[in-house]
Amino acid sequence: MKILLFSKQDSMKTKYKNILSELNYFINNIEDELDIEMLKNIDNYDMAIIYIDDILDFLDLVEKLRIRAKKMYILAIYKDINVDLKIDGYYLGVDDYYPAKKSVFELSYKLKAIERIINRYSQANNENILECRDLKLNIENREVLRNNKLIDLTNKEYKILEFFLKNKNRILTRSMIAEKIWDVSFTFNSNLVDVYITGIRKKINKDNPVKLIETVRGAGYILRE
């Protein structure tokens, strides 16, 4: 990850720079909002970590940063701050806070968790992601998620679900599915497609009130957006 690190205290800059370096992150030290204005390609940075030295400078910094980098994750590290000021920070664009008194060991794990969040967000904008409501299929790694829960599918189930996601809001007949997945024409008496659809439904609809893949009587199936 590429990270902007904000602090006016040299000791704090050194402390957090060491943590980030151990995680193999690229770090750029910034001291004030003027540095933000001068910074080129700010959208290439994934995260800003701000150590709160002065609350007013902090709020100005967050506001300027959020104007220029709308997608950047902002983590504020604080020593002492009241609830109202934290809320002001949230309002201006802070994503999360972290108390300075906690261990740097725990912080390293928090940063890795944030990195996973950022990566998932990036994947959501990737053309390799097929989506329908809260169902996501990643073509690149063949990962299927619903409500961010991983779903284990067989190879055929995965291919069928991918076919539905590429043809949302369109009725797919049993013959269309059979020809696409098995490369053969099935008679309408065959229930193999139905068996697979039933299996897929059980997996993707488990513990979900909204059921996906509807039966269209006399026609086939449809995945509605």
pLDDT at 112 > cutoff 80: yes
80-93 pLDDT per residue, tens: 888 999 999 999 99
Same domain? For 116 and 133 the reply is no
The pLDDT score that the predictor gives to residue 98 is 94
Domain boundary among 124, 157, 191: 124
- Name every residue whose Cβ is closer than 8 Å to that of residue 38 and which is 6 or more positions away in sequence: none
Per DSSP, 143 falls in state E
Could you tell me the CATH number of the domain that includes residue 66?
Answer: 3.40.50.2300
Same domain? For 91 and 16 the reply is yes
145 or 57: whose pLDDT is higher? 145
Q: What is the CA radius of gyration of the chain?
A: 24
Same domain? For 117 and 17 the reply is yes
Average pLDDT of the residues of the chain: 88
Model confidence at 134, pLDDT cuts 50, 70, 90, reads: very high
pLDDT at 143 > cutoff 80: yes
Looking at residues 118-139, what average pLDDT do you find?
Answer: 81
pLDDT at 188 > cutoff 60: no
- Name every residue whose Cβ is closer than 8 Å to that of residue 90 and which is 6 or more positions away in sequence: none
Same domain? For 120 and 136 the reply is no
Laid out side by side, the sheet with 96-99 consists of 26-30, 2-6, 47-51, 73-78, 96-99
Could you tell me the CATH number of the domain that includes residue 201?
Answer: 1.10.10.10
Same domain? For 57 and 146 the reply is no
Same domain? For 196 and 156 the reply is yes
CA–CA distance, 183 with 90 (Å, rounded to integer): 54
Task: Specify the number of domains making up the chain.
Answer: 2
Looking at residues 110-116, what average pLDDT do you find?
Answer: 92
118 or 205: whose pLDDT is higher? 205
Domain boundary among 67, 96, 124: 124
Domain boundary among 75, 90, 124: 124
Q: Which domain holds residue 179?
A: 129-222
pLDDT at 129 > cutoff 80: yes
Model confidence at 50, pLDDT cuts 50, 70, 90, reads: very high
Nearest by Cα to 73 from 98, 90, 95, 51: 95
Same domain? For 158 and 207 the reply is yes
Same domain? For 151 and 207 the reply is yes
pTM of the model: 0.54
Same domain? For 133 and 86 the reply is no
Nearest by Cα to 149 from 204, 213, 214: 204
Same domain? For 58 and 104 the reply is yes
Looking at residues 17-25, what average pLDDT do you find?
Answer: 89
Taking the CB of residue 82, how many other CB atoms lie within 10 A of it? 9
Same domain? For 99 and 178 the reply is no
The pLDDT score that the predictor gives to residue 144 is 95
